[in-house]
Amino acid sequence: MKLFSWNVNGIRAVIKKGDFERFIAKYQPDVLCLQETKAKQGQAEIDLPEYEEYWNDADRAGYAGTAIFSKIKPLAVRFEFPDTINKKYDFKDQFGDASREGRVTTLEFECFYLVAQYTPNAKSSGLERLKFREEVWDPAFLEYCLELEKTKPVVFCGDLNVAHQEIDLANPKQNVGNAGFTAEERAGFQEYLDSGFIDSFRFLHPNQVGAYTWWTWRSGCRERNIGWRIDYFCVSRSLKGKIAGAEIYPEQTGSDHCPISLELNLGEAEH
């Protein structure tokens, strides 16, 4: 079973440029998780009859949003966090209500949950949303995944807006303390790992350098591969032996992020 994740930074623009159609034709994912769709279902011209489509758009038009396209019909679908977590955490801040921004979409399959998420950015100008990340979003998302894990294993993916280790960005020393590479954000990701989740790419490629998933549009950074790895597939420890592949596709254009994939060695009955 091959899963893909891609922050498309506007699905309509990627389709208009022809990159989305080329991507689907080339890779034929079993399941595709999208972040930053910036559109509601029906606003983008998509003709993929072999896929079930599940869209979770933000209340604010043209902002955030996630979607999952799946060739395998899920047992259940959930959008956003459950009420238990919404009541425990305050998702409202000066930038809006993150619980109403289409940031979490969950599909339940026979032997695992798949959670696509788009983590709020800490804000590069002054880290105004860093405290929210540290005290609300990251612990709430981890709590949600651990609750799901009580029933069956979890795979979560998406743009987590953090480079975990120095190997995960081209210029770590110059970026210490910047959004995406603060001690707080890195510690939040480490909590995922300490709680038993596995960063699938680093599991299979522990020492690979230059493996990035996002590049700023400025200064030809993508062409020079001055980037960050901030998109992930993480899996429950119980799925460790099922990880058959984890790759990054920097050659795929259309967005400032590139797609990533996770291949799980599952039997037909386990989908």
Which three-class secondary structure state does DSSP give residue 108? strand
* Cα 30 to Cα 27: distance, rounded to the nearest angstrom: 9
Q: What does the DSSP assignment read for 212-242?
A: -SB--SGGGTTTTT--B--EEEEEEGGGGGG
Maximum CA pair distance of the chain?
49
3-state secondary structure of 270: helix
Helices (H), the chain: 11-16, 19-27, 83-88, 130-132, 138-149, 172-175, 183-194, 200-204
Dihedral through CA 219, CA 23, CA 168, CA 192, nearest 10?
140
Q: What's the token pair of residue 162?
A: 């953090």
Active centre residues (catalytic): 118, 159
Give the whole-angstrom CA distance, residue 68 versus residue 80.
Answer: 13
Nearest C-alpha neighbor of 200 from the set 143, 166, 163, 242: 242
